[in-house]
Amino acid sequence: MTEALHPSVSAKDYASDQEVRWCPGCGDYAILKQVQTVLAELGVPRENVVFISGIGCSSRFPYYMGTYGLHGIHGRAPAIAYGLKITRPELHVWIVTGDGDGLSIGGNHLIHMLRRNMDVTILLFNNEVYGLTKGQISPTSRPGQRTPSTPWGSFEHPFNPVALAFGAGATFVARTMDRDLAHMRSVLKRAAQHRGAAFVEIYQNCPVFNDGAFFAYTEKESKPDNALFLEHGQPLVFGQNRDRGFVLEGTALRLASFSDGLPANLWIHDETDRTKAALLVQLLGTPDDGLPRPFGVLYADHTRPTYEELLAERRQHLVQHHGGGDLSALLRGKNWWTIGS
Amino acid sequence: MTEALHPSVSAKDYASDQEVRWCPGCGDYAILKQVQTVLAELGVPRENVVFISGIGCSSRFPYYMGTYGLHGIHGRAPAIAYGLKITRPELHVWIVTGDGDGLSIGGNHLIHMLRRNMDVTILLFNNEVYGLTKGQISPTSRPGQRTPSTPWGSFEHPFNPVALAFGAGATFVARTMDRDLAHMRSVLKRAAQHRGAAFVEIYQNCPVFNDGAFFAYTEKESKPDNALFLEHGQPLVFGQNRDRGFVLEGTALRLASFSDGLPANLWIHDETDRTKAALLVQLLGTPDDGLPRPFGVLYADHTRPTYEELLAERRQHLVQHHGGGDLSALLRGKNWWTIGS
Amino acid sequence: MERHRIVIPDVVIVFAGDSGEGMQLAGVQFAHTSALRGNDIATFPNYPAEIRAPQGTLAGVSSFQLRFGSFEVLTPGDQCDVLVAMNAAALKTHLHLLKRGGILIVNEAGFDRRNLRLAGYPEAENPLTNGSLSDYQLIKLNISQLVGAALADTGLSVREKERMKNMFVLGLLAWLFGRPLETLEELVTAKFRARNPEIAAANSRLLHAGYNFGETSELFASRYEIPQAELAPGVYRSISGNEALVLGFVVAAHKAGLKLFYAGYPITPASEVLHQMSNLLSYDVYPFQAEDEIAAISAAIGAAFGGHLGVTATSGPGFSLMSETLGLAVMLELPLVVCDIQRAGPSTGMPTKPEQADLLQALYGRHGEAPIPVLAAATPADCFQTAYEATRLALHWMTPVIVLSDAFLANGSDLWRIPSVESLPPITPPFATEEHKSNGVFHPYQRDTRGVRPWAIPGTPGFEHRIGGLEKEDITGNVSYDPLNHERMVQLRAAKIEQIAAELPPQTVTLGEPEGELAVVGWGSTYGSIYSAVQECRAQGLPVSHIHLRYLNPLPRNLGQLLRGFRRILVPELNSGHLTQLLRARYLVDAKAYEKVQGIPLTVSELVEVIQERIHHD
Amino acid sequence: MERHRIVIPDVVIVFAGDSGEGMQLAGVQFAHTSALRGNDIATFPNYPAEIRAPQGTLAGVSSFQLRFGSFEVLTPGDQCDVLVAMNAAALKTHLHLLKRGGILIVNEAGFDRRNLRLAGYPEAENPLTNGSLSDYQLIKLNISQLVGAALADTGLSVREKERMKNMFVLGLLAWLFGRPLETLEELVTAKFRARNPEIAAANSRLLHAGYNFGETSELFASRYEIPQAELAPGVYRSISGNEALVLGFVVAAHKAGLKLFYAGYPITPASEVLHQMSNLLSYDVYPFQAEDEIAAISAAIGAAFGGHLGVTATSGPGFSLMSETLGLAVMLELPLVVCDIQRAGPSTGMPTKPEQADLLQALYGRHGEAPIPVLAAATPADCFQTAYEATRLALHWMTPVIVLSDAFLANGSDLWRIPSVESLPPITPPFATEEHKSNGVFHPYQRDTRGVRPWAIPGTPGFEHRIGGLEKEDITGNVSYDPLNHERMVQLRAAKIEQIAAELPPQTVTLGEPEGELAVVGWGSTYGSIYSAVQECRAQGLPVSHIHLRYLNPLPRNLGQLLRGFRRILVPELNSGHLTQLLRARYLVDAKAYEKVQGIPLTVSELVEVIQERIHHD
């Protein structure tokens, strides 16, 4: 996903002429802006970009992009992307989905897309609630959440989207948030550049039905103690004074505080380390348990080829060894004969 | 899932009168026998047992059980189980599925069932191929596998079913094989006794379309070097001479050989340890890479309540605080009035 | 000042404003008050698909249409007598509904330059001042200002006050139409009293302010009175279609002695059914929010296999997803009810708008021969009866049943005379007993004389059996590929559904003579419009009758005969002629459709015109 | 010994044996040989749903029916002249197919006590010895023994030899019907030569052994000769319906200059289409095995959005799953083709058996008004033409198209005169050009005079646009909830599909006069049976014509007029009267169905009887 830079393009060049119709204060606005910015930074010609979505608030995204776009049906965005990406591997395909669209009705296509590793960028706007249908629980809603479908407080165990993606065999797993524009931009850019299916969970505030769900991680006061920002090659340190981090004792992942200098066995983030990633995706700290929640690129496998590459390889091999398609021979098959004149 | 023992029952009491119609040599026969044996050992009255399946060779399973059974449609067995289990929590519900039924078309219901943790036992017969439709690849087929739908050799990256289940938030994750009857029996029994959704991947040989797919793990000569049998509280040791095992160095999982005695930092299996499980489910050794593949109970969370328990709790709480349902009051609602006589 | 009081039989009011301005709340409370006052009512809410469309835009307008009267009110009305327009966009989108000479109450504050621009009025053009509204009784109020003044001494923020404008309007209308302010006050404050007494008090104060404003200002020359309707004695409430569906299922399950398992997936306009069900845990309701509609109907089948009542409700897209699983239910012959709250399609279409274009899908939208009974509700309150009857058929005949409703019924409401639970017909599922065994063996497909198979429930010793989607041998239920057995099973399944008609009452004429010149045949939510139009035409002396169908499959056994008694048959439908096609195919009668596919209901006046035309232009 | 040679016009042979005994292979090779010999052919394979049903059981029998003749062979035959029964179960399940006086070749080794018990014959009862087969020319051979003897000096195992019994039978039949042994030998050995020369040699030896056995034994009094059929000059092959579908799509994509994207999910009897497509990587085919049918059709839409041809094929259950996504395709107005290879339903039904009970679903199985063209193939070879025409319509009209085939066409095969690619009609998709812009702006729903919208492809600068499942504004394609716009769009979509009929040739009478006493109207795979039956009845002097429909939607523009020219209309269908209902509703003609829902094809003789009855019993 690299392309010659168009020096003159700006974020605005990626906007459509349609009025944006999310609720005032919706986190989606910030994401829209950062996606447009990233595209401009990468300089991808807008005619080569396609946004595909399902149904839900986030899935209105394509209408606001001045690129090609397909607002599909509920849960099927990755499935639509299959056919587009296989026949048009040169296009930049983005899939925009939410926790309902992508993890409830569309969970299966999502995990299969990740397994197959087509070269697409998947943005999962997670607001832990159904917005468009007015506030029911989603597969990421928290126990106790009161909604019209759970007036007594939900008791369903939620998915951890990054753990699910990793378990499905994703080659790129990241988490970011609507309220940290710089972080979001950098993660989105990494995702767009990843060769393969890049999965990005974006914490997105729904001011109408689930306001403040992520404030522990996004607001100035609480963010430093609850959000652990990962950087490749850097130690896993967080806290107001950056004085807490993780050390490993055997497989026991232990939280350590330190006042003078970093301990030697401190965990250094290596986004390509599958074993570390297996633990990181499971780390889902909350203000209650005193553990932080990781943000950034949790895992990136730069080695696995994409579906399209492998298909092209097979095709090339076959053409080389058996020749291109002779249509007449194909129609005749193995046993044919001629009658008359 | 415990029940008074019926001293007189035997495996045969759980068989139906229908002729079993799998191919000669199919691994399904062994699984059928062990399931019947486990039910007899547990002494569950057969009228309280329900087998639900989807479509595929394995999904014929219910017909051969003398219990209640529902042979559903493709991929939907867990979804059918939802309604049965919620309204009849006292029943013993088993879901029988395959790698096509359970991971391809039915992947979404499977992960949601695991997330919700209803008290069901899920048997996923994995033969890494579609049987009933004559041999196409499945989501667990290996790269290079030649089938009618991949005559040039598959290039799809397969799911690792236990990793997917763990990533989805399963409370019980296990793997066993059709050719080790004692192991299979013990794992099935543990699964049946688990309070919550128990996921068991069973390696099952398809003699017609994928013969020998698992022989490295199941046959006498190769099994000791390739299969790592897990036992709670026991070290992770394998090999013909039981002289290989895993040690941990930081997060680096290192394979170690040892001639005299077990090293101190040897990994001791603790099926309740989430961190260890996160690594174990990812361990998918092959004869090629020299790493073993784990069998047995990889993970068991005995603490998370089931969906049914939590629902019952909510219901009880509501009835206690607001009284049982007064139908007339419900019909009248908040604003009603009387006209006339 | 005592104003002149004019007695009128009914009135139609439309509240229109921005999504955040409480138009739905105002409408609902005014409707309630009117019903409690003894009028019959009908309502029609209309809101955007977006949760919060941008303020002031055409897309952001939310409206509520209310009609109340001193006779049986069957529709919310074609046009309105009073239009409340809180901003320019509301005026622009709803002015066409206001009758010539009708009362137009506008909030001047909603017509500033920004609002006018967002509503798409030309620059420097203000409808309030350019004379374009001279056909109406224009009442211009700066409601924002009036509200601000009334609440000047409270600590409420401007934003909070802005959101209460609706209360001032309600008070004003209560004065205008002689509604008891106490009732309104009680209803409104009950909503807020516990949570926020300050807001409750402010609301109350604004109601009075509005009322007093009507009393003291000289904006209106007269007040109006709508006498009480003559209603049969009984206990009444107002109810929406979705609420009525839920109650129908709850009562039916209770009468059958079963748990009610409800599985749903959020979809407009069916979500409310899930919400209502979720509130009824203590009524032996087992609600379940599934991961998709396929899981929802599958779960309902699972509950049915377990011996309980399985119900699901959805709308078009979800109904399409259920196609395969409905076929399984046909094969299993298990009881369940699937509600399709139709909306405008195809595909995602217009999610909040009503349409009747799923009928042929309900009848034929499955592979193979898979007949399923189909019932349609006629009014919001009738959804209760339809749900109850659908459940009764499902349990009595061991079959899935489809209930068709639509967005108009689902969100609209009317008056409901609450039946006593005892008066409803009994429901007795055909549970398997020892008598169903032959030589000690239970056969799940051993049918009774009606063709119904017994329901054997897991947990019952001696009745263990397996069923599935493969064709099954007659009687034993074992898998069978025998050609003649297959044909026999296809026929048995079809005959069972056809047989239902034999036990149902014959079709009657809803209004008018049982034979003659023109029959107007309808189904579903068009009931009120068609009935009213036929009534009007008959009053004009036109030879026309109304036949309304509840049962779309099987069709009533005497329907063909009945239709052949009319020279012409007109079938108004909110689709491209689904029922028309069915009647033509079945009875070879030259039924002609009147098709309207606009995502809005039929109006009485357009129907009257069509009827006149069909009768006169022969 | 030179035997008497009898010349006959055609012969029907059924090979029946256990699933593992190579009956399909034997049948296919014999059919090939006969076709190469200059006969017309038709075949009908019939096998169990289980992969390897238990040996010797009734459920495990696999059979292959082959007919070849010196005239145009339209069906595989109602009954057979020769039945080869390799074991007792094969005899029991297929004896009803054998004509009285027909040749019955049995393998005595397959009638031992175990085989008889498994086939369900009463204890100590052997049909070969109890005289029950006296109506037939019974040829008892211990084929196992004969094969063992012929291969005595090879190193092959008993099991290997057992699996080659079919070759001995083939050799024997080659002698009996004068088939060239060399051709057969060439075909058979080509299959094994490379992989296993030893097996190839043994096969070859058994062919000769069987042939010589016929020559030297005195089992048969005569040999038979079936003269060559008079076939139009051209290049021929035999082809199955699924193979022909694949070739049709490949050629159509080639003619349109597009990649062919094929997405499929394994399902009987459509899987073969996925297999065939997967073999064509080097023909610009992009095969994709999706995780389910919803993903398959969605992926096809994705490919269509990308500017290529999207195709998927499935059967009933998968087709039901596609309902919602088909509606999206209607809304998007993108070209794709969906094939439903119908099988016996409902639900899982009988997966390997043919039926025509998905027609109404194809027409109406979507929520909302979502019209889609529907075409049906008449014969295996005709699947090529149907696939090509469906693709042409999809690309020409920017619409999804449904192709109906069934298990009978999919697995059966007949002779195909291979068309030259050049002779096929051109396919020119309406790609967007600068001319489609208004004032420099591209509008995706700006239709041409036919009502077709332009196809703008990602990657094209200046044509960026967004489309989706919400109702869209006419011309711009922007989201719109406007009532009249919605109605207009519903009408535009419907009119476009109806318009197709105007460009298609009018419906002709397939056989017989264009008006008269009785029209037999059919569609799909019943073509051969109906044609043959009408032919036979006409030979008897009965006033009957045959009308066969390829286009089910839109119906041919002159069809109503054509049908009204007949006094009676008979519609034989493998369902409960789908087309019948359609014709009645559309044209108000009293079409009567002949329904057969047994999972097996229509026979010519039953149709002849029905036609006679309809004409005589008035």
The closest of A28, A75, A38 to A203, measured between CA atoms, is A28
Q: Which residues have C-beta within 8 Å of that of residue C226, sequence separation ≥ 6? A: C7, C8, C9, C10, C11, C34, C39, C68, C69, C70, C177, C178
Q: What is the pLDDT of residue D55?
A: 84
Show residues of chain B in contact with C463, CB under 8 Å: 47
pLDDT in tens, B204-247: 999 999 999 999 999 999 999 999 999 999 999 999 988 898 88
The closest of D99, D86, D35, D97 to D56, measured between CA atoms, is D86
pLDDT in tens, D80-130: 999 999 999 999 999 999 999 999 999 999 999 999 999 999 988 899 999
Question: How many Cα atoms within 13 Å fall on the side-chain side of residue C188?
Answer: 32
**Å between C373 CA and nearest CA of chain B:** 22
Average pLDDT of every residue of chain D: 95
- Taking the C-alpha atoms of residue A112 and residue D298, their distance in angstroms, rounded to an integer, is 14
pLDDT confidence band for A6 (50 / 70 / 90): low
Interhelix angle for D241-256 vs D382-397, to 10°? 40
Average pLDDT of every residue of chain A: 93
Residues in chain D: 618
pLDDT confidence band for D53 (50 / 70 / 90): confident
pLDDT confidence band for C548 (50 / 70 / 90): very high
**Å between D458 CA and nearest CA of chain A:** 6
Show residues of chain D in contact with A85, CB under 8 Å: 302
Mutate to test the interface with A, among C117, C291, C294, C319 (most CBs of A within 10 A): C291
pLDDT confidence band for A1 (50 / 70 / 90): very low
Longest Cα–Cα distance in chain D: 90
CA dihedral C24, C28, C29, C35 (to 10 degrees): 160
- Taking the C-alpha atoms of residue A45 and residue A48, their distance in angstroms, rounded to an integer, is 6
pLDDT confidence band for A341 (50 / 70 / 90): low
Asked if C51 and A132 come within 8 Å (Cβ–Cβ), the reply is yes
Q: What is the pLDDT of residue C155?
A: 87
pLDDT in tens, C262-318: 999 999 999 999 999 999 999 999 999 999 999 999 999 999 999 999 999 999 999
Task: Please tell me which residue of chain D has the smallest CA distance to B54.
Answer: D348
Q: In this complex, which chains have at least 3 CB pairs below 8 Å with chain B? A: A, C, D
Average pLDDT of every residue of chain C: 95
- Taking the C-alpha atoms of residue D600 and residue A62, their distance in angstroms, rounded to an integer, is 49
Q: What is the pLDDT of residue B251?
A: 61
Show residues of chain C in contact with B314, CB under 8 Å: 281
pLDDT confidence band for D368 (50 / 70 / 90): very high
Mutate to test the interface with B, among D47, D58, D117, D275 (most CBs of B within 10 A): D275
**Å between C58 CA and nearest CA of chain D:** 11
Domains in chain C, ordered, with CATH?
4-225 (3.40.920.10), 237-421 (3.40.50.970), 434-502 (no CATH), 516-617 (3.40.50.920)
pLDDT in tens, D496-550: 999 999 999 999 999 999 999 999 999 999 999 999 999 999 999 999 999 999 9
Residue D393: both structure tokens together: 């319509």
| Distance in angstroms between the alpha carbons of the first and the last residue of chain A | 57
Domains in chain B, ordered, with CATH?
11-213 (3.40.50.970)
Asked if A136 and C289 come within 8 Å (Cβ–Cβ), the reply is yes
pLDDT in tens, C414-428: 999 999 999 999 999
The closest of A137, A175, A139, A136 to A158, measured between CA atoms, is A139
C to D CB pairs, distance under 8 Å: 222
Show residues of chain B in contact with D271, CB under 8 Å: 133-134, 136, 148-149
Show residues of chain C in contact with B330, CB under 8 Å: 247, 250, 280, 283
Q: In this complex, which chains have at least 3 CB pairs below 8 Å with chain D? A: A, B, C
Report the range of poorest mean pLDDT among B182-186, D158-162, D551-555.
D158-162
> Strand, helix or coil at B255?
strand
pLDDT confidence band for C174 (50 / 70 / 90): very high
Show residues of chain C in contact with B341, CB under 8 Å: 233
Are the C-beta atoms of B107 and B80 separated by less than 8 Å? no
pLDDT in tens, A160-183: 999 999 999 999 999 999 999 999
Please give the ipTM for the structure prediction.
Answer: 0.96
pLDDT in tens, A25-77: 999 999 999 999 999 999 999 999 999 999 999 999 999 999 999 999 999 99
Asked if B278 and A279 come within 8 Å (Cβ–Cβ), the reply is yes
- D396, amino acid identity: H
Show residues of chain C in contact with B44, CB under 8 Å: none
Q: Which helix (H) or strand (E) holds A253?
A: strand A252-257
Mutate to test the interface with A, among D240, D249, D298 (most CBs of A within 10 A): D298
Asked if C289 and A21 come within 8 Å (Cβ–Cβ), the reply is no
The closest of B165, B301, B172, C287 to A154, measured between CA atoms, is C287
Show residues of chain B in contact with D59, CB under 8 Å: 21
Q: What is the pLDDT of residue D490?
A: 98
| One-character DSSP codes across B122-151 | EEEEE-SS-TTTTS---TTPPTT--BTTBT
Asked if A87 and D286 come within 8 Å (Cβ–Cβ), the reply is yes
Q: What is the pLDDT of residue B325?
A: 79
- Taking the C-alpha atoms of residue D266 and residue D315, their distance in angstroms, rounded to an integer, is 10
Mutate to test the interface with B, among D291, D314, D320, D350 (most CBs of B within 10 A): D291
| Distance in angstroms between the alpha carbons of the first and the last residue of chain B | 57
B to D CB pairs, distance under 8 Å: 73
Task: Please tell me which residue of chain B has the smallest CA distance to C422.
Answer: B328
Query: Nearest CB to C471: which of D349, D584, D600?
Result: D349
- Taking the C-alpha atoms of residue A194 and residue A174, their distance in angstroms, rounded to an integer, is 11
Interhelix angle for D293-305 vs D323-332, to 10°? 10
Q: In this complex, which chains have at least 3 CB pairs below 8 Å with chain A? A: B, C, D
Q: What is the pLDDT of residue D8?
A: 94
Query: Nearest CB to B76: which of C298, C303, C463?
Result: C298
Across the range B318-327, mean pLDDT stands at: 86
Predicted confidence (pLDDT) at residue A244 exceeds the cutoff of 70: yes
Asked if B57 and D289 come within 8 Å (Cβ–Cβ), the reply is no
- Taking the C-alpha atoms of residue B238 and residue B241, their distance in angstroms, rounded to an integer, is 8
Classify residue D240 by burial, with Cβ atoms within 10 Å: 0-12, 13-18, 19+: buried
The residues with which A93 forms a beta bridge, in sequence order, are: A50, A120
- Kind of pairing, strands C137-141 and B237-238? unpaired
The closest of C270, C265, C240, C242 to C351, measured between CA atoms, is C270
Q: What is the pLDDT of residue A2?
A: 44
Report the range of poorest mean pLDDT among B257-261, C572-576, D553-557.
B257-261
Asked if D458 and A336 come within 8 Å (Cβ–Cβ), the reply is no
Mutate to test the interface with D, among C339, C347, C588 (most CBs of D within 10 A): C347
Residues in chain C: 618
Asked if D364 and C366 come within 8 Å (Cβ–Cβ), the reply is no
The residues with which D417 forms a beta bridge, in sequence order, are: D236
Q: Which residue has the higher pLDDT, D200 or A103?
A: A103
Asked if A136 and C281 come within 8 Å (Cβ–Cβ), the reply is no
Predicted confidence (pLDDT) at residue C564 exceeds the cutoff of 50: yes
Is the Cα torsion angle A259, A262, A266, A272 positive or negative in sign? positive
What is the separation of C-alpha C11 from the centre of its chain, rounded to a whole number of angstroms? 21
Are the C-beta atoms of C235 and B332 separated by less than 8 Å? yes
B to C CB pairs, distance under 8 Å: 201
Asked if C291 and A134 come within 8 Å (Cβ–Cβ), the reply is no
pLDDT confidence band for B4 (50 / 70 / 90): very low
Are the C-beta atoms of D317 and B73 separated by less than 8 Å? yes
Show residues of chain B in contact with A285, CB under 8 Å: none
- Name residue, tokens 């274009």: C357
Q: Which residues have C-beta within 8 Å of that of residue D424, sequence separation ≥ 6? A: D251, D252, D255, D388
The closest of D565, D559, D560, D527 to D546, measured between CA atoms, is D527
Q: Give φ, ψ of D596 to 5 degrees.
A: -140, 115
Asked if A279 and B112 come within 8 Å (Cβ–Cβ), the reply is no
Residue D307: both structure tokens together: 């500017």
Q: Which helix (H) or strand (E) holds C210?
A: helix C197-216
Q: What is the pLDDT of residue A249?
A: 72
- B328, amino acid identity: S
Q: Give φ, ψ of D7 to 5 degrees.
A: -90, 125
Across the range A4-8, mean pLDDT stands at: 55
Query: Nearest CB to D345: which of C320, C360, C370?
Result: C370
pLDDT in tens, D287-327: 999 999 999 999 999 999 999 999 999 999 999 999 999 99
Task: Please tell me which residue of chain D has the smallest CA distance to B71.
Answer: D348
- D236, amino acid identity: Y
**Å between D42 CA and nearest CA of chain A:** 16
Asked if B111 and A115 come within 8 Å (Cβ–Cβ), the reply is no
Classify residue D88 by burial, with Cβ atoms within 10 Å: 0-12, 13-18, 19+: buried
Query: Nearest CB to B335: which of C237, C461, C463?
Result: C237
The residues with which D66 forms a beta bridge, in sequence order, are: D13, D43
Task: Please tell me which residue of chain D has the smallest CA distance to B72.
Answer: D348
Residue D51: both structure tokens together: 């992969």
Query: Nearest CB to B134: which of D271, D279, D287?
Result: D271
Q: In this complex, which chains have at least 3 CB pairs below 8 Å with chain C? A: A, B, D
Question: How many Cα atoms within 13 Å fall on the side-chain side of residue D84?
Answer: 32
Show residues of chain D in contact with A318, CB under 8 Å: 281-282
Phi-psi map region of A196: left, alpha, beta (phi>0 left; psi -120 to 50 alpha): left
**Å between D23 CA and nearest CA of chain A:** 20
pLDDT confidence band for B292 (50 / 70 / 90): very high
Selection from C44-53, C54-63, C467-476, D230-239 with the highest mean pLDDT: C467-476
Across the range D604-612, mean pLDDT stands at: 97
